[in-house]
Amino acid sequence: MALGRDYEKQNCSLARALEVIGERWTILVLRDLFYGIHRFTDLQAHLDIPRAVLTDRLTRLTAEGVVRRSEYQRGRYEYSLTAHGRELWPALFALSQWGDRHNAPEGPRRLFSHAPCATDLAAGGMCPGCGTVPAPEEIDVRPGPGARPDRTDAASVALRSRHRLLTPLLTDA
């Protein structure tokens, strides 16, 4: 289709990436999956997104091999990032850092640290402690000075304490 999805004339890797993740809401869906939010209802509540759009994005991401869908009860599904999806971490981190520099008068809203080194990440997602660019499995998120605790949905509340990326939030029981 002509809007949002295709940049076919561009012989460019960036354009190819944007065809997969460049639509409205898609990157925020991926962010939530990195945070460990993985059920439809929790995603919908945390993103405050129309359900039809969330369905569409999850379906498309699944078709592209970025997200995996699995049934955790009969009729209930959960979504997680594939290895391919997890490789998007440096891109999301870089965008997030830029958003903080551009517009975060009270400091970063969230801080990311390399858990084994207990060191906050620097530019490019690099850990100054060990000089590598850690995989998301080794990264902790926690609220920063610019965080505003105004949301009350379950996912927002759970994210107010330190949490390892990719490990599920909000499992029942």
Q: Does 124 bind a copy of itself (CB under 8 A)?
A: yes
C-alpha span between 145 and 56 (Å, rounded): 35
Minimum CB distance to DNA smaller for 75 or for 131:
75
CB closer to a copy of itself, 72 vs 137: 137
CB-based burial of residue 56 (10 Å sphere; 0-12 exposed, 13-18 middle, 19+ buried)?
A: middle
Q: Quick one: what does residue 124 bind among a copy of itself, DNA, none, with the CB cut-off 5 to 8 Å set by partner type? A: a copy of itself
Q: How many CA atoms lie within 13 A of 163 on its CB side?
A: 22
Cα angle, residue 85 at apex, residues 22 and 52 outer, rounded to 5°: 55
The three-point CA angle 136-37-60 to 5° equals 90
| Binding residue for a copy of itself, selected from 98, 130, 145, 168, defined by CB under 8 A | 98
Asked if 142 is part of the footprint of a copy of itself (rule: CB under 8 A), the reply reads no
- What x/- string results for residues 88 through 127 when contact with DNA is judged by CB under 7 A? ----------------------------------------
Q: Which of 19, 56, 64, 120 binds DNA (CB under 7 A)?
A: 56
